[in-house]
């Protein structure tokens, strides 16, 4: 039992740094995923507006 506590104490900093790294990477990956989704939505809206403008010009409605 006397050897167990120093061994666990030596592992605590490594586990703590590992958890910090995991949380940081998790945050970065989620932020990237959300940014890509937002850009995809913006691109889809822009494409829809562009197609509507071309469609109205072709029909002769004016723009």
pLDDT in tens, 23-58: 999 999 999 999 999 999 999 999 999 988 887 776
**Looking at residue 23, what is its pLDDT?**
98
Q: Which residues contact 6 (CB under 8 A, 6 or more apart)?
A: none
pTM for this structure?
0.66
Residue ranges of E strands in the chain:
none
**HSE-up (13 A, CA, CB side) for residue 19:** 6
């Amino acid at each position: 039992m006397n050897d167990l506590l120093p061994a666990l104490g030596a592992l605590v900093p490594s586990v703590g740094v590992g958890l910090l790294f995991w949380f940081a990477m998790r945050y970065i990956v989620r932020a990237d995923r959300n940014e890509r989704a937002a850009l995809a939505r913006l691109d889809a809206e822009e494409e829809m507006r562009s197609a509507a403008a071309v469609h109205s010009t072709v029909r002769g409605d004016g723009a």
